[in-house]
Structure 1
Amino acid sequence: MTQDGTFPIRGNPVETAWLKGDVFAADCPTRLLLDRIGDKWSVLVLLLLGEEPYRFNELKRRIAGVSQKMLSQTLRMLERDGLVTRHVVATKPVSVSYAITPLGGELIDALRALMTWSEARIGTVLSAQRAFDAREGAAG
């Protein structure tokens, strides 16, 4: 354990890695994880996979506006982070489905709370934006 209460991971290629993160430290890898789970496509994919496993094209149909390339990149990064698993079924053609892992499942309640808050408060946020824009437009 270091003086700041963190535990360096031995053998990790990342120069500074912790078992316990500090998101306010500039070099903490926790920031990378927050970037990932804060990404709009990642949030949407995780929310859907929190309901049930999906095949790639089903995810693409459900998430309006996501490109095939972006969905593929998002799934690969979520898989790399251990939040999603990829299951290949040897059929003709090959069938691939994605499911949330137990680690990813730990995020679902927090993501659902954010989704619920966003859906409930969008009207208030849009009103605040209009008021701000009106003030700034009048001042500018």
Structure 2
Amino acid sequence: MSTSNPIPAEDRRRLWHPCGTLCAVCRQPTHGFGWFDPHRSKRRRPSVWFCSMPCQSFWTRLARERFAMVDLTEEERAAITATLKRMALLMDEIGWATPLADLTEAQVRALIEEAVEGFREAMSDIAQGQTPEVPF
């Protein structure tokens, strides 16, 4: 009988825990909610991680509806529209007549951050609104 050293629980947890990954829906840090492809395959099974159960439920529903589709969903289009409103406020501060080539590095960063944060927040809000409350 061989006595191999078992892997400690903390090391086993590190093998699957999504430390440092971002939510597949809203891009916030994940908190252990995940999904992996249940179909047996010799290839590595894809997995995604989420920050909350609403984001996980939202992603699962979308995955069922649009398996292997590339087009934007209605929810993504709504999130882009919400983001445009936030970006318009920032462009009011910068000036609409300013050519993109004349923007400073700080202004470009502010535009990118506003776009990413606005989209993330809108997707999170949409996911929260479409998930029924947990009954407990």
- After TM superposition, is the score higher than 0.5? no
After TM superposition, the score normalised by the length of structure 2 is: 0.28
* Structure of larger gyration radius: 2
After TM superposition, the score normalised by the length of structure 1 is: 0.28
Higher strand share: 1
